[in-house]
């Protein structure tokens, strides 16, 4: 099935689901209209204690109705009742929200089809750090069992923390005195992952998670405590194919003598010459993984008087996952290319090539520790004046260590017998059907991928260590004064925060060992390993490689180097390191109003927020030296000489953010909302770095340093300013009863400026020679762009049906967005020249906003009556551009995705329930493309996940 038909099929399924839900809701509407005026029905309904999914949806509907801004929510009165296995999974059931999937689970959140860069996320009203280098909350760090409300503010108001053009996600935990009752709760879940069962010698796909929480009140309800702990021990194996992240536009004509990719110069892009796009390498990767997380949440609430409320909350999470990776790598994707077939966009359909083939092994471990919390004081200073103080701290430390070994093909095998090719480069054929994301790579059948004898030369050992340190100190002051008349309250306040982000990536490398052949033979034989799983990529139709010769990484390190871990390099400094400090000072004033427009009640707020942001970014510069690979293959390594100097770049900006929200109660059950506001989204902290990333060409002979260096890129752009937008929203909401909602929102956003690659020439001293090299960065462009969209939500319980069908309910939400925002490829897109002030035309088209999807759909059906609760959830997201964290990279697109999840619970006895969850039931893969949509770069298969558990509460 080609891509167009796939998209049509997905949209047809989405339309059928949405249509079915709408039809049922329309059928329910007359009954709702007839039942609503009947006051005698209310007492009987109020006597029913609503629980489960129905209670969560009721609370969410009520929250949306009561808020002044346009808000969608997911909330529960009780701890542990958010119906999802993770916070990210829960958020994607909220109208307009969808997720980017990593390791088979929801990670980054997109609102209204706009990526995480344009959203702001807070935890208990405060910014939260993370280890990714962006501003999103790492939702995998927070157990959903210890969260009891999630709000998404679609419109802004002056009192909200700035940063959300698309919206603000607020995650909240309960306050023990407000909870008002004692609760001891425990839950244990077992996990089964069928993909984990394929791993040889693994856990059989079995994992578990256990949660224990306790809430209580003491001293005549003046002191309350809440504490929750969780241990999560699961596995997330992965099967993937990936091309490299660097792509080149090759001249289709003339063909050079060695058939290697002949790259176009930038000045030739305007000439409409034929080209095709190729990566530097192709890799098949098998991953065995274990994932452990310990989390502790705690809160103390102290209310010594009716006018003073003090709250202290702390969150701690420590997550570690370990991956064993086995790679088959075709390392020379630009060499010996013949019979190249490509389409009008330069997308390869088939080609023949020559490449050295590598069996690579990696052992990777990542630990991420989060510590956050805050102290807040609410004081009713008088009958009219309320003062709130809040101080908070958030810190994330992520450390990643990867030990990697490369073994390459040669003209002979490890026994000295010449291969039929008499060369380390092996012929292969690449072909891909139009619309498919799975290329078929066929290795010359005379080469046996599973023969360990063929992988032995140019042993290379790397130990990479990366560390990310993100820390936020913040404090805020808010005062609210109640008035009489149309203006109900006047609020004013200020907020200060200081964010620091530091990272380093250090490599300790032995580039290519020169050892006796007898030693290579001995180690090759004793470190051999059977391929560690069965049915590799069996779900990928078109894939032709299912196994290859693999080796024990620890054994190779130990036998070649004498140690399994060579540790950090002697030099701990690097030109790629980032050191960013961002200080923010904000103040606001806001008035809440309430009155009547004729006979129609009206309420809302109006205000302005002023934000000053100052950035100080430090990077290192050093003279460099090229180190040829001892193998003589023409590739180079690069070392810094150790003579470092610090480069400091400062920038600042001040932005004014007015906002107005208005709610018109046109009928007792119908609201019309209007909102206008200015919003801002700051660049990611990692995108503000002042370091340099240097890429070297490999696999060819070079005559000069300039030829050997592919490019030098800034790993950030410290002078980037926030992305600003003017926004307008109009919403109509109908609330026929407690279980039902029908709403429609149209919105418009005009962006003042976008992002555009810019090139500066910088001088580098390499091997004692001064070389002027163009350095690619990103700047704010003067271009204006816009996005408009439509958001629909429909929810109801079909109470008009006869028992027991009256427990059925449904919720359908859909978001459509259209944007003309442009993001250009850092290498192949438009580039701005600051010296001439000209923009040179690129060879490939631009992408849109990072994370922007045109269509987002979530459809839920549930059955909740008596002891039984069932819920099926369908999520669809159309394709989108996904920037790499840190920016200054080539364009990456993620293909459309649709997933189906299922949840069920049954109350066995008072306080005891049996629970079941299934994620990604139909094994939906994730596919990505570079640097144009349709050019397959990577696909992942994770499989489904199943959880079964028991919960007890007293």
In this structure, are residues 890 and 248 in contact, taking their beta carbons and an 8 Å threshold? no
pLDDT (0 to 100) of residue 675: 97
DSSP per position, 251-282: E-SSPPTT----BPPGGGGGG---EEEEES-E
200 against 50, higher pLDDT: 200
Query: Strand 385-408 and strand 457-482: pairing?
Result: antiparallel
pTM of the model: 0.87
- Greatest Cα pair distance in the chain: 96
Cα 441 from chain centre: 30
In this structure, are residues 755 and 823 in contact, taking their beta carbons and an 8 Å threshold? yes
Is residue 948's pLDDT more than 60?
Answer: yes
- Region 223-244: what's the mean pLDDT? 94
Question: What one-character DSSP code corresponds to residue 209?
Answer: E
CA dist., res. 356 & res. 190, Å (int) = 44
pLDDT (0 to 100) of residue 78: 66
Residue ranges making up the domain that contains 454: 3-953
In this structure, are residues 289 and 237 in contact, taking their beta carbons and an 8 Å threshold? yes
Give the mean pLDDT of the chain: 88
pLDDT (0 to 100) of residue 638: 66
Q: Could you tell me which of 185, 212, 209, 174 has the C-alpha nearest to residue 76?
A: 174
CATH at residue 486: 2.40.170.20
Cα-Cα-Cα-Cα torsion 440, 444, 445, 450, nearest 10 degrees, comes to: -80
Is residue 732's pLDDT more than 60?
Answer: yes
Q: Could you tell me which of 10, 449, 437 has the C-alpha nearest to residue 240?
A: 437
- Secondary structure of residue 797 in the 3-state scheme: strand
> What's the pLDDT tens digit per position in 83-139?
777 888 888 888 888 887 777 677 778 888 787 778 888 889 899 998 888 887 777
CA dist., res. 935 & res. 953, Å (int) = 52
Report the domain count for the chain.
1
Is residue 628's pLDDT more than 80?
Answer: no
In this structure, are residues 504 and 574 in contact, taking their beta carbons and an 8 Å threshold? yes
CA dist., res. 804 & res. 839, Å (int) = 67
DSSP per position, 113-172: TB-GGGEEEEETTEE---SSSSSS--GGGS-GGG--EEEEESS--TTSPS--SSEEEEEE
pLDDT (0 to 100) of residue 574: 86
Tokens of 931: 């640097």
> What's the pLDDT tens digit per position in 656-676?
999 999 999 999 999 999 999
Q: Could you tell me which of 164, 127, 158, 165 has the C-alpha nearest to residue 587?
A: 158
Question: What are the distances in angstroms from CA 623 to CA 574, 715, 766, 770?
Answer: 11, 18, 6, 9
Is residue 703's pLDDT more than 60?
Answer: no
> What's the pLDDT tens digit per position in 793-832?
999 999 999 998 999 999 999 999 999 988 899 889 988 8
> What's the pLDDT tens digit per position in 323-342?
999 999 999 999 999 999 99
pLDDT bracket for residue 865 (50, 70, 90): confident
Question: What one-character DSSP code corresponds to residue 774?
Answer: E
Written in H, E and C, the secondary structure of 746-768 is EEEEEEEEEEEEEEEEEEEEECC
Residues whose CB falls within 8 Å of the CB of residue 933, separated by 6 or more in sequence, listed in order: 879, 893
pLDDT (0 to 100) of residue 631: 59
pLDDT bracket for residue 38 (50, 70, 90): very low
> What's the pLDDT tens digit per position in 271-310?
778 999 999 999 999 999 999 999 999 999 999 999 999 9
Is residue 472's pLDDT more than 80?
Answer: yes
CA dist., res. 338 & res. 699, Å (int) = 17
pLDDT (0 to 100) of residue 81: 73
Beta strands in 798-835 (DSSP E): 808-819, 831-833
């Amino acid at each position: 099935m080609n891509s167009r038909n796939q998209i049509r099929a997905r949209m047809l399924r989405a339309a059928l689901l949405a249509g079915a839900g709408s039809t049922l809701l329309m059928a329910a509407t007359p009954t709702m209209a007839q039942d609503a005026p009947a006051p005698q029905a209310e007492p009987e309904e109020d006597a029913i204690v609503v629980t489960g999914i129905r209670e969560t949806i009721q609370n969410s509907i009520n929250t949306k109705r009561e808020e002044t801004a346009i808000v969608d929510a997911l909330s529960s009165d009780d701890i542990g009742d958010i119906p999802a296995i993770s916070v990210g999974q829960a958020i994607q059931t909220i109208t307009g929200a969808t997720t980017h999937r990593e390791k088979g689970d929801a990670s980054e959140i997109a609102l209204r089809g706009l990526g995480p860069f344009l959203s702001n996320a807070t935890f208990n009203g405060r910014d939260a750090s993370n280890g990714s280098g962006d501003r999103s909350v790492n939702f995998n760090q927070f157990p959903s069992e210890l969260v009891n409300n999630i709000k998404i503010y679609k419109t802004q108001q002056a009192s909200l923390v700035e940063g959300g053009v698309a919206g603000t996600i607020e995650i909240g935990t309960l306050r023990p005195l407000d909870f008002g009752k004692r609760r001891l709760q425990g839950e244990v879940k077992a996990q089964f992952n069928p993909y984990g069962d394929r791993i040889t010698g693994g856990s059989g796909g079995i994992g578990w998670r256990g949660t224990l929480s306790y809430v209580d009140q003491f001293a005549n309800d003046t002191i309350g405590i809440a504490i929750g702990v969780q241990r999560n021990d699961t596995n997330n194996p992965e099967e993937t194919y990936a091309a490299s992240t660097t792509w080149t536009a090759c001249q289709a004509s003339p063909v050079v003598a060695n058939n290697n990719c002949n790259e176009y110069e930038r000045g030739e892009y305007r000439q409409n010459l034929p080209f095709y796009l190729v990566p530097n390498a192709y890799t098949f990767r098998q991953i065995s993984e274990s994932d452990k997380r310990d989390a502790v949440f705690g809160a103390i609430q102290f209310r010594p008087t009716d006018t003073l409320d003090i709250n202290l909350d702390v969150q701690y999470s420590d997550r570690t996952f370990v991956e064993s990776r086995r790679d088959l790598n075709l390392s020379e994707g630009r060499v010996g290319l013949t019979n190249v077939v490509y389409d009008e966009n330069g997308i390869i359909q088939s080609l023949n090539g020559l490449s050295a083939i590598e069996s690579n092994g990696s052992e990777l471990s990542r630990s991420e520790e989060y510590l956050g919390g805050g102290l807040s004081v609410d004081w009713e200073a008088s009958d009219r004046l309320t003062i709130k103080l809040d101080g908070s701290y958030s810190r994330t430390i992520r450390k990643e260590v990867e030990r990697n070994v490369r073994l390459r093909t040669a003209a002979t095998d490890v026994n000295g017998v010449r291969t039929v090719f008499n060369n380390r480069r092996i012929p292969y054929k690449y072909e891909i059907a139009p619309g498919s994301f799975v290329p078929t790579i066929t290795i010359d059948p005379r080469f046996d991928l599973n023969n360990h004898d063929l992988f032995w030369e140019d042993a290379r050992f790397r130990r990479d260590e990366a560390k990310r340190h993100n820390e936020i100190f913040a404090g805020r002051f808010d005062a609210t004064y109640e008035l009489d008349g149309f203006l109900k309250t006047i609020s004013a306040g200020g907020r200060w925060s200081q964010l620091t982000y530091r990272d380093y990536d250090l490599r300790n490398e032995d580039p290519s060992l020169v050892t006796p052949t007898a030693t290579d033979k001995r180690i090759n034989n004793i470190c051999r390993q059977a391929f560690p799983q069965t049915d590799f990529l069996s779900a990928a139709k078109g894939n032709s490689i299912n196994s290859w010769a693999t080796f024990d990484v620890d054994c190779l390190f130990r036998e070649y180097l004498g140690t399994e871990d060579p540790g950090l390099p002697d030099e701990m400094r690097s030109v790629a390191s980032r050191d960013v400090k961002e200080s923010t000072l904000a103040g606001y004033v806001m008035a809440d109003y309430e009155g009547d427009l004729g006979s129609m009640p009206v309420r809302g707020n109006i205000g302005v927020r002023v934000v000053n942001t100052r950035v100080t970014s430090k990077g290192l510069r050093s003279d460099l030296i090229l180190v040829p690979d001892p193998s003589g293959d023409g590739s180079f390594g690069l070392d810094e000489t150790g003579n470092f100097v610090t480069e400091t770049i400062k920038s600042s900006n001040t932005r004014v953010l007015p906002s107005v929200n208005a709610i018109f109660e046109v009928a007792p059950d119908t609201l019309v909302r209007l909102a206008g506001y200015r919003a801002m989204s700051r660049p990611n902290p990692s995108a503000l770095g002042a370091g340099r990333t240097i890429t070297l060409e490999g696999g060819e002979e070079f005559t000069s340093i300039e030829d050997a260096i592919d490019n030098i890129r800034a790993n950030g752009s410290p002078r980037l300013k926030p992305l600003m937008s003017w926004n307008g929203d109009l919403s109509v909401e109908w609330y026929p009863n407690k279980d039902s909602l029908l709403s429609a929102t149209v919105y418009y956003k005009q962006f003042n400026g976008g992002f555009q690659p810019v090139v500066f020439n910088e001088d580098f001293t390499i091997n004692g020679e001064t070389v002027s090299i163009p350095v690619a960065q990103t700047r704010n462009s003067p271009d204006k762009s816009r996005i408009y969209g439509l958001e629909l939500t429909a929810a109801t319980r079909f109470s008009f049906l006869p028992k027991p069908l009256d427990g059925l309910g449904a919720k359908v939400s859909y978001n459509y967005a259209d944007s003309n925002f442009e993001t250009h490829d850092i290498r192949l897109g438009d580039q701005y020249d600051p010296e001439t002030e000209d923009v040179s035309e690129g060879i490939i088209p631009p992408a849109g906003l990072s994370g922007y999807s045109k269509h987002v759909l979530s459809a839920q059906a549930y059955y909740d009556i008596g002891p039984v609760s069932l819920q099926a959830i369908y999520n669809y997201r159309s394709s989108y551009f996904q920037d790499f964290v840190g920016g200054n990279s080539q364009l990456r697109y993620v293909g459309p995705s649709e997933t189906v999840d299922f949840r069920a619970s049954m109350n066995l006895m008072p306080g005891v329930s049996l629970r079941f969850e299934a994620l990604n039931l139909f094994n939906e893969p994730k596919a990505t493309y570079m640097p144009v949509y349709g050019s397959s770069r990577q696909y992942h298969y994770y499989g489904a996940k199943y959880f079964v558990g028991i919960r007890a509460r007293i």
